């Protein structure tokens, strides 16, 4: 049971995309990045939804965008966890946001999906102002955030779960996804601690709400033309079994969706050291291929 915070924080892997930056370091010497905090991007029920936005200050034309989604078992974490990550992404030339979304169990599925989709629509609606290319947006997430990121890459408007948060005339689908140890099929087999996390997210057990478990699973929506995906998964993950990566890989292969799955042998729900540096570099290489 004490492994729960790993799903909620995924601190080690956050550093992959944050590039090793820590609060208070060197930002004063980096005027090329503008950080706008707590920007309202829509509404979820009666709640205002906010994100942090990092912008490159260069004027080299429309830039690709990245949507960062924190983990936390859909019930914890916060957008501040990835503030350094979006700053680093902006240094690399991306328009980057870290998204706050409604949390379970106060807000059950599909609230979190609706909010993630709304953030992408907000980006597209403000593309001109942000010097963003609306046809080049990627999503990256960790654990529960990886689950939401995968949904952004496979769901079309006709699949539903768009919500009424705003900017309904825009598409919520992204063009590339990087997912770190994310659950792809909630109907799969999970350890008891993860079953309880998912129960609080959906509002019932798999036996009680099988249809909702399927609606909440990225694997349900995979089809030809979906976003290319890079999936990272540890084989000793105590929360997300590594067969989840196999299941998603098979579905993507059958749909002829390009991408790659990497299993980190012996890694748990997050990693560090050389694996951290390597997966960070592979993340940006992947986006460089599909978004730039």
Count how many domains the chain has: 1
Best CA proximity match to 164, nearest among 43, 56, 258: 43
Q: What is the pLDDT of residue 20?
A: 39
Please indicate, yes or no, if residue 16 is contained in any of the structural domains: no
Find all residues with CB under 8 Å of 75, minimum gap 6, and list them. 8, 103, 104, 105, 197, 200, 201
Please, where are the H alpha helices in 29-95?
83-91
Q: What is the pLDDT of residue 7?
A: 35
Distance CA 104, CA 112 (A): 8
Contact 97, 123 (CB under 8 A): yes
pLDDT greater than 50 at residue 22: no
pLDDT greater than 70 at residue 10: no
What is the domain-level CATH number for residue 172?
A: 3.40.50.1820
Distance CA 143, CA 262 (A): 15
Query: In percent, how much of the chain has pLDDT > 90?
Result: 87
Distance CA 172, CA 210 (A): 25
Confidence of residue 95 (pLDDT cuts 50, 70, 90): very high
Please indicate, yes or no, if residue 7 is contained in any of the structural domains: no
The whole-number average pLDDT for the span 265-274 is 96
The whole-number average pLDDT for the span 5-22 is 40
Please indicate, yes or no, if residue 204 is contained in any of the structural domains: yes
Please indicate, yes or no, if residue 92 is contained in any of the structural domains: yes
5: helix, strand or coil: helix
Contact 71, 232 (CB under 8 A): no
Please indicate, yes or no, if residue 41 is contained in any of the structural domains: yes
Distance CA 61, CA 147 (A): 31
The pLDDT tens digits of the residues spanning 180-239 come to 999 999 999 999 999 999 999 999 999 999 999 999 999 999 999 999 999 999 999 999
Please indicate, yes or no, if residue 20 is contained in any of the structural domains: no
Question: Based on the number of CB atoms within 10 Å of its own CB, is 6 exposed (0-12), middle (13-18) or buried (19 or more)?
Answer: buried
Question: Based on the number of CB atoms within 10 Å of its own CB, is 106 exposed (0-12), middle (13-18) or buried (19 or more)?
Answer: exposed
The pLDDT tens digits of the residues spanning 140-166 come to 999 999 999 999 999 999 999 999 999
pTM: 0.92
Please indicate, yes or no, if residue 18 is contained in any of the structural domains: no
Domain that holds residue 46: 34-291
Please indicate, yes or no, if residue 57 is contained in any of the structural domains: yes
Distance, CA of 50 to chain centre: 16
CA of 6: how far to CAs of 13, 45, 152, 268, in Å?
A: 10, 29, 23, 9
Query: Backbone phi, then psi, for 252, in 5-degree steps?
Result: -65, -40
């Amino acid at each position: 049971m004490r492994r729960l915070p790993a799903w909620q924080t995924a601190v080690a892997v956050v550093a992959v995309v944050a590039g090793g930056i820590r609060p208070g370091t060197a930002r004063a010497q980096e005027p090329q990045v503008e950080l706008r905090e707590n920007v309202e991007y829509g509404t979820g029920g009666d709640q205002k939804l906010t994100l942090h936005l990092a912008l490159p200050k260069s004027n080299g034309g429309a830039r690709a965008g990245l949507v960062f989604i924190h983990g936390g078992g859909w019930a914890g974490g916060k957008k501040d966890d990835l503030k350094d990550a979006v700053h680093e992404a902006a240094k690399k030339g991306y328009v980057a946001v870290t998204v706050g979304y409604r949390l379970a169990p106060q807000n059950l599925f599909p609230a979190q999906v609706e909010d993630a989709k709304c953030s992408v629509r907000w980006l597209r609606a403000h593309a001109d102002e942000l010097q963003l290319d609306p046809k080049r947006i990627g999503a990256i997430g960790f654990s529960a955030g990886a689950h939401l990121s995968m949904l952004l890459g496979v769901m079309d408007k006709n699949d539903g779960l768009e919500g009424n948060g705003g900017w309904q005339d825009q598409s919520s689908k992204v063009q590339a996804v990087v997912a770190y140890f994310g659950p792809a099929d909630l109907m799969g087999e999970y350890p008891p601690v993860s079953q309880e996390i998912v129960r609080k997210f959906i509002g019932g057990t798999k036996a009680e709400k099988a249809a909702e478990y399927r609606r909440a699973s990225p694997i349900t929506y995979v089809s030809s033309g979906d976003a290319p995906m890079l999936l990272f998964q540890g084989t000793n993950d105590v929360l997300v079994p590594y067969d989840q990566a196999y299941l998603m890989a098979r579905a993507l292969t059958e749909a002829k969706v390009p991408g790659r799955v990497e299993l980190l042998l012996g890694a748990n729900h997050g990693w560090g050291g050389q694996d951290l540096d390597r997966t960070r570099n592979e993340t940006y290489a992947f986006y460089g291929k599909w978004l730039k």
